[in-house]
Chain A
């Protein structure tokens, strides 16, 4: 079945989409990693992207803040089209926050400095103001007491929550999560997922690459299943998981369930 047919099932069409990918293609050398991706995400929508490894899901969300460059098609984020223009790139990076699988905190800076760095240098915020803002978000992810420590002194779960706070300090409209719990020990996954659930409750537009099906069921408005560089199936989580339409999704779900 075609991906395009199921695409707009749950999107509120009256508002312009926060993110729109239309006919996006990308190659790594000779490998065609994204094939005709069409996806619209509305403001406030929470989308979970899943699929086997190498399916192109990370590449897709990395295209949204242009950590990767797409070669064909159109990506519009918050009304700004991603082009070769560096100005549009700067504008988009301010609006889009990103959380990585391996946290990528800056080990030579304290937690507080990690959080204030971008507000000070990109948003040109006074230091005092930036620190107040950082403390506010650190409280929200419930680790204000760690503010003066260095990343190396924190557990993986704490580091990932700091990474979320760091991204939030730029007051982004959209948050991207690239497998945020894959590098964590099982007992730490929950604290990070709780933070993400809390963030979802604030109405943040979120795109999240993850295999945490419980999380998908709990917060996602829509689940996108990708395989071999294309969107195979999308839909509301319960419907998608309980009634997969394609063989590929059935296979993937059976592997995920067997794994757990």
Chain B
């Protein structure tokens, strides 16, 4: 006989065991327990539901989604899609969702950048730097976010009016009307350039993969940055230039009692973004720090002993391991930013919670209003979770 013979332990299937109707059988007990628990939970839910139905009837509260088609008549200060108070509630709610996404996405990007920088600085060998960063982290983490938001908002409101605005550079004004920044007129070619840049990023990704594959085949490492520069910078800029290179600066200036032109960041949005970013960066910094520390010194030493250059060690050995530790808690921080953006309602930034809340106050349809809030957040949370799980499983190590 030989070891290479087919393993006889494969190929058969276990028999199904019949269920014996006896209290002594664990499975029978399991089924009874489950029926009991589900029954209790179900009857509580039914009780609450029937009470609600009765109450709605008694109080003559309308139900259903008809109100979505009605005119909202609610003014919204900031919108990403055209909106007017004569539009429907549905439109208003869409504006709210986009406002939530706007602050969440920008907040996630800024907090990740700031948090990563702080996390690395916390590990600095310079005592003063690591202490200052440590104090910052401790302070933002130990104060309620709502308090921080109110604080920033109060501070922004305490700024002088437009006429006495703080004016640190040409076209930049900071006043109690918010932050004004210079921008340029956005025209068609800009869209094209942006699109080409995105295509270039995707192209760079595939180029990198192809270059890796070739390196594996012939052993020659290839530089990626020249191709990346061409695809993501030279081509878009060239296209923009070819289309006439439109560039009309749009610099805000004081006219009468307010500013004209430029990019406006409202005090509400500014306070919310500032608060969310500064708060979450404190948490992200700790995650990044822990992730870097989780890769033991032995890994650096082992990789360097193999003769890998330092940059490659970071790229090939340390970062993949640190990311495995960093990604899961980072996911929950991204979810937290999104959920915490709902505090907007306290300082008057009109996100989905604020608009749904106004809607339910105006229509009296509390259940529908809250259902909308919950569905929106569950959808966002689920999407972020699914994406991050996918990314995490891509980089996860197989551990036994």
Interface residues of A (CB under 8 A from B): 25-27, 30-33, 35, 71-72, 84-88, 228-229, 247-248
Within the complex, which residue of A33, A71, A86 is in contact with B9, where a contact is CB–CB below 8 Å? A33
Rounded to whole angstroms, the CA-CA distance of A248 and B8 in the bound complex is 14
Establish whether residues A27 and B12, one from each chain, have CB atoms under 8 Å apart when the complex forms. yes
* B27 pairs with A84, CB closer than 8 A: yes
List the A side residues contacting B15 at CB < 8 Å: 71-72
Give which listed residue, A25, A33, A248, contacts B1 with CB less than 8 A.
A248
| Residues of chain B lying within 8 A (CB to CB) of residue A35 | 8-9
Q: A84-B25, A85-B25 are in contact. Are A25 and B7 (CB under 8 A)?
A: no
Q: Is A25 in contact with B14, judged by CB distance below 8 angstroms?
A: yes
- Whether B22 contacts A85 by the Cβ 8 Å rule is yes
Q: Which 3 A-B pairs have the closest CB atoms?
A: A85-B24, A27-B14, A84-B25
Instruction: Assess whether B14 is in contact with A71, with CB atoms less than 8 Å apart.
Output: yes
With a cutoff of 8 Å between Cβ atoms, the chain A residues found around residue B26 in the complex are 84, 86
Given contacts A84-B22, A229-B8, 9 further A-B contacts (CB under 8 A): A27-B14, A30-B13, A31-B9, A72-B14, A72-B15, A84-B24, A86-B29, A228-B9, A229-B9
The answer for the CA separation of A254 and B27 in the assembled complex, in Å, is 46
Enumerate 23 A-B pairs (CB-CB under 8 Å) in ascending A order.
A25-B14, A27-B12, A27-B13, A30-B10, A30-B13, A31-B10, A32-B9, A32-B10, A32-B12, A71-B17, A72-B15, A84-B17, A84-B22, A84-B24, A84-B25, A84-B27, A85-B24, A86-B29, A87-B24, A228-B8, A228-B9, A229-B8, A248-B1
Instruction: Report the Cα distance A33→B7, complex, angstroms.
Output: 11
B20 at the interface (CB under 8 A from A): yes
Residues of chain B within 8 A of A87, CB atoms compared: 24
Chain A residues within 8 Å of B9, by CB: 31-33, 35, 228-229
- What's the least CB distance linking A57 to chain B, in Å? 14
Q: Nearest-CB distance from A252 to chain B (Å)?
A: 12
C-alpha spacing A149/B186, complex, angstroms: 75
Which of A30, A35, A248 neighbours the largest number of chain B CB atoms within 10 Å of its CB? A30
* Shortest Cβ distance from A55 into B: residue: B9
Question: How long is the Cα–Cα vector from A85 to B8 in the complex, in angstroms?
Answer: 32
**Nearest CB of B to A168, in Å:** 28
Q: Which residues of A contact B22 (CB under 8 A)?
A: 84-85
